[in-house]
């Protein structure tokens, strides 16, 4: 049985003070209201990581993520942050390859493969994002598009490495738009992704991997999405900036 996981990606939102308030509210709500075996991950901006780590403390089912990381260990890379720096701050997870990183910053599948290698070598766990833009979905090429993303960045990993990866399917046309893939569309793509994993690493390992849905997840649609057999939780954007909404999404698991 795969443990459900809900990650809140705050993106470039909140000041440190606002982030501290939000994190405190979420941590307390989850502690008070959640009685299920659900893993919660918070991904604030880099400037908030130290504060949020302290607020999470020893909470058994809440952990800290970074929104990005460099593939380089150290050196003359102005503005970048390394795996070791994140680990020292108490980070456990790193989001890799979010569609906004791919689109706005030109991150390629090859670069993301290097980032995955760095994260895994450093003892952190990646949340690897994949997903198609609207024109690809409308042309019916979405399954092949996502398959290529998996092949470019994941298919060099060993069985042991792959077991540490969480995949997040995020249809780009549903991010920040208020649109959401239907429960059936999400399930179909998640099943397709799991089929690709099985073809590469075997059915048993594929059944271990958690695949999250990301794309305007909110309290109104989370329960239907999370009920699908291959949807193992969510990567939540806008709703993660409201403690009540985010906690209700978590409880939908």
Supply the residues annotated as catalytic. 98, 170
**201 labeled binding residue:** no
Residues 172 and 36: their CA atoms lie apart, in Å, by 30
**216 labeled binding residue:** yes
Residues 47 and 27: their CA atoms lie apart, in Å, by 19
Q: Residue 56 has which token pair?
A: 């999470």
Q: Residue 166 has which token pair?
A: 């969480």
Are the C-beta atoms of residues 67 and 19 closer than 8 Å to each other? Answer: no
Give the containing element (helix H, strand E) for 138. helix 134-138
**176 labeled binding residue:** yes
Give the containing element (helix H, strand E) for 41. strand 38-43
236 three-state secondary structure = strand
Residues 243 and 239: their CA atoms lie apart, in Å, by 8
Are the C-beta atoms of residues 228 and 212 closer than 8 Å to each other? Answer: no
**237 labeled binding residue:** yes
**144 labeled binding residue:** no
**238 labeled binding residue:** yes
Residues 42 and 23: their CA atoms lie apart, in Å, by 8
**202 labeled binding residue:** no
235 three-state secondary structure = strand
- Binding-site sequence positions: 9-11, 176, 216, 237-238
Annotated binding site for substrate: 9-11, 176, 216, 237-238
């Amino acid at each position: 049985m795969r443990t459900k996981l809900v990650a809140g990606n705050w993106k470039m939102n909140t000041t440190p003070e606002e982030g501290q308030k939000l994190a405190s509210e979420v941590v307390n709500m989850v502690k008070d209201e959640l009685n299920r075996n659900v893993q919660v991950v918070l991904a604030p901006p880099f400037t908030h990581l130290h504060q949020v780590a302290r607020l999470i403390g020893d909470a058994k089912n809440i952990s800290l993520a970074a929104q990005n990381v460099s593939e380089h260990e150290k050196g003359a890379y102005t503005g970048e942050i390394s795996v070791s720096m994140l680990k020292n701050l108490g980070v456990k997870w790193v989001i890799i390859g979010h569609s906004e990183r791919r689109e706005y910053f030109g991150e390629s599948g090859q670069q993301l493969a290097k980032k995955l290698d760095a994260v895994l070598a450093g003892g952190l766990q990646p949340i690897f994002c994949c997903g198609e833009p609207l024109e690809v979905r409308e042309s019916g090429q979405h399954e092949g598009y996502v398959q290529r993303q998996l092949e470019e960045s994941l298919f060099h990993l060993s069985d042991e490495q792959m077991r540490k990866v969480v995949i997040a399917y995020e249809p780009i046309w549903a991010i920040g738009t208020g649109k959401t893939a239907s429960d059936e569309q999400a399930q179909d793509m998640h099943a397709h992704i799991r089929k690709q994993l099985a073809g590469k690493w075997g059915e048993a390992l594929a059944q271990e991997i958690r695949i999250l849905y990301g794309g305007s997840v909110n309290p109104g649609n989370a329960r239907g999405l999370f009920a699908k057999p291959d949807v193992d939780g969510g990567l939540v954007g806008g709703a993660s900036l409201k403690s009540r909404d985010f906690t209700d999404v978590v409880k939908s698991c």
